[in-house]
Structure 1
Amino acid sequence: MNIKLKIALGLLMAQWTAQAQSITLDASDTKNILSVQTATQAIKLPVLNESQRNLIPAPVMGMQVYCSNCLAGIGPYAYNGSAWAPMFVPATSDLPSYTVGQLAQGGSVFFVDETGRHGLAAATLDQTASTKWFNVNFHITGATRVGIYGGIDNTSDIVRIEENGSYAAKIAQSHTGGGFGDWYLPSLEELRLMYNQKNVIGGFSSANYWSSTEISSSPASNPSTTAFVKDFTAGAEAPLSKGSTARVRAIRKF
């Protein structure tokens, strides 16, 4: 055993000695180098969301984390040398498959990934006909993600900065259709996917709809004053002042 591993395990043992019922380090054991026994406690992996996990610099084979919102499922993941893989995968036959236009997951399915078992659902009605993007003042929220599933972190960032109030992201986040509590304001690309399936989803007006994608100011240190909207009449996209009003349609990932 190298010296770094000895030191690391020594510190680990010192930390757990008062908590665990039994910690054994036995170099002569050819199967288990470290054994922890306890009837009342557990070892906790680092809990990260999918974006945080993917930002781990230079991961190495064997690293483990617990992902709180991963598309492939919430649970423990291990790095296999080239990608993060679920440590426990339910049988494929146990997971339902979906099609675009299906009423499921609290709304209308408008995007399905290559597995056929995950995607996006939109609420079947608008959550408001007119609301501002911001709460009171212009801020830098960091909600600049454009792609699929980017609206999740965009919405989280917006609400964290704008806090309580009645504005686009908060209204979308507060939706509880189907009994789900993970609705959010779509990113620009998610809004595009919705527009492409607007007749399938139904209930849209010929008006602007807010995305959660803000536009960075120049210089970037200045508060952002605009965000993208999409016109559901002909599909045009444009920046709009956060103080202007547009409609909101919440979506969720499943």
Structure 2
Amino acid sequence: MKKIHIVLFIFLVSVISFAQAPEGFNYQAVARDASGDIIANTIVGVEFQLHKTTISGSVIYTETHSPTTNTYGVFNLIVGQGASTDTFNTIDWATDLYFIETSIDVSNGSTYVSIGTTQLLSVPYALNAKTADNVFSGNYNDLTNLPNIPTNSTYSVGDFAHGGVVFWVDSSGQHGLVCAITDQSSQISSYGNRDFDAPYQEFVTGDGIYGGKMATSFITSYYHTGTHPAKICQESIILSFRDWYLPSKEELNLMYLNKSTINTTCLANGGTAFNEATYWSSSNYTGGSSNLWLQWFTDGNQYAFGSGVDYPNSYVRAIRAF
């Protein structure tokens, strides 16, 4: 069988619910072969298995699909609405950890080849509303001990909020990015002499605001073992927030440009200032190589360094969106 790569393109976009149909969540992916070429206009067999507790835990749900890829190799389906002898809508998402394993058969048969397993972190847990012990009516006024929540709060660079220090806000002033008040790792050496394979290189070139979030997901799905900058950020729990990620090249530069203001707020809230050293980004060099961008926090210079080469003197500072 020809080896197939599935590149997760948009994963767990939304939870859906119907009055008389099982729940599910959207799944979109791009099918490529071992050479990185798109598998276009082809019916492929896809199997999902949900593992409980650990990545290799017992399988509590299995389903199959036969989607057709489009001209760009993209296929769409809904996990929870495939062919299955199991029952999806009785899964109690709140009681344990769950991991989804994706397998594919390019001939649309049943000889599936596993292409990876990843943890379900957030979206399916919205389904817990149906089985929650304490059901909320949906009316805010039904709550007791109502909190005093300020409305239309706006933020500025340097504010201490949402688990870190604000270093960028959108035009509304109500949404933006914060960085952690301390480094998550010092002198970390990239990805342990492991280069990005060609099919993955184009998917971690994303830059810009929020670009680091998707790049972090791709990197950690490819390198889900060992210790590296993206995995350190994704697994961080800081002031109860769990959605941290490794900044993109542009997001990292925004932190550098506001370094003085950020340092003041970090130190005032028990954190530490940025080191006068290099920091890792999650952006791959756009030339298609396996180089990742770093930035000096001395002069702001950015340069690409091999993801497969140990570079022992760079730091990691996680960020999150609010």
Specify the alignment match of 1:148 in structure 2.
209
- Residue 212 of structure 2 aligns to a residue in which SS? helix
Deviation at 1:45, TM superposition (A): 7.8
Q: Percent identity?
A: 37
Tell me the amino acid that sits aligned with residue 166 of structure 2: V
Q: Give, in whole Å, the separation in 2 of the partners of 1:239 and 1:210.
A: 10
Instruction: Kindly indicate whether residue 299 of structure 2 is the aligned counterpart of residue 238 of structure 1.
Output: no
Shift in alpha-carbon separation, 1:94–1:44, aligned structure 2, 3 A: farther
- Residue 121 of structure 1 aligns to a residue in which SS? strand
- Residue 274 of structure 2 aligns to a residue in which SS? coil
Q: Give, in whole Å, the separation in 2 of the partners of 1:96 and 1:42.
A: 39
Q: Give, in whole Å, the separation in 2 of the partners of 1:181 and 1:159.
A: 15
Map 1:76-225 onto structure 2 (within 5 A). Answer: 94-140=151-197, 141=200, 142-202=203-263, 203-216=273-286, 220=288, 224-225=289-290
Q: Give, in whole Å, the separation in 1 of the partners of 2:251 and 2:154.
A: 20
Give yes or no for contact 1:135–1:162 (8 Å, CA) kept in 2.
Answer: no
Specify the alignment match of 1:250 in structure 2.
318
Shift in alpha-carbon separation, 1:46–1:175, aligned structure 2, 3 A: closer
Number of paired residues?
177
Specify the alignment match of 1:30 in structure 2.
none
Q: Give, in whole Å, the separation in 1 of the partners of 2:151 and 2:225.
A: 39
Unaligned runs of 5+ in 1: 1-35, 50-56, 58-67, 75-92
- TM value normalised by structure 2: 0.49
Deviation at 1:96, TM superposition (A): 2.3
Deviations 1:32-67 (A, max 9, x none): xxxx9x5xx567586479xxxxxxx9xxxxxxxxxx
Give yes or no for contact 1:133–1:169 (8 Å, CA) kept in 2.
Answer: no
Deviations 1:103-126 (A, max 9, x none): 011010110100110000000111
Map 1:15-94 onto structure 2 (within 5 A). Answer: 47=26, 94=151
Deviation at 1:172, TM superposition (A): 1.2
Q: Give, in whole Å, the separation in 1 of the partners of 2:21 and 2:241.
A: 30
Deviations 1:116-151 (A, max 9, x none): 100000001111111122245212332110111000
Q: Give, in whole Å, the separation in 2 of the partners of 1:143 and 1:133.
A: 14
Tell me the amino acid that sits aligned with residue 156 of structure 2: T
Q: Give, in whole Å, the separation in 2 of the partners of 1:45 and 1:166.
A: 32
- Residue 179 of structure 1 aligns to a residue in which SS? coil
Shift in alpha-carbon separation, 1:194–1:48, aligned structure 2, 3 A: farther
Higher helix share: 1
Specify the alignment match of 1:22 in structure 2.
none
Specify the alignment match of 1:65 in structure 2.
none
Higher strand share: 2
Give yes or no for contact 1:101–1:109 (8 Å, CA) kept in 2.
Answer: yes
Select the residue among 265, 269, 291 that pairs with 1:226: 291
Tell me the amino acid that sits aligned with residue 315 of structure 2: R
Could you say which structure has the larger radius of gyration? 1
- Residue 178 of structure 1 aligns to a residue in which SS? coil
Tell me the amino acid that sits aligned with residue 276 of structure 2: S
* Structure 1 stretches of at least 4 aligned residues deviating more than 6 Å after TM superposition: none
Specify the alignment match of 1:52 in structure 2.
none
Tell me the amino acid that sits aligned with residue 290 of structure 2: T
Deviation at 1:154, TM superposition (A): 0.3
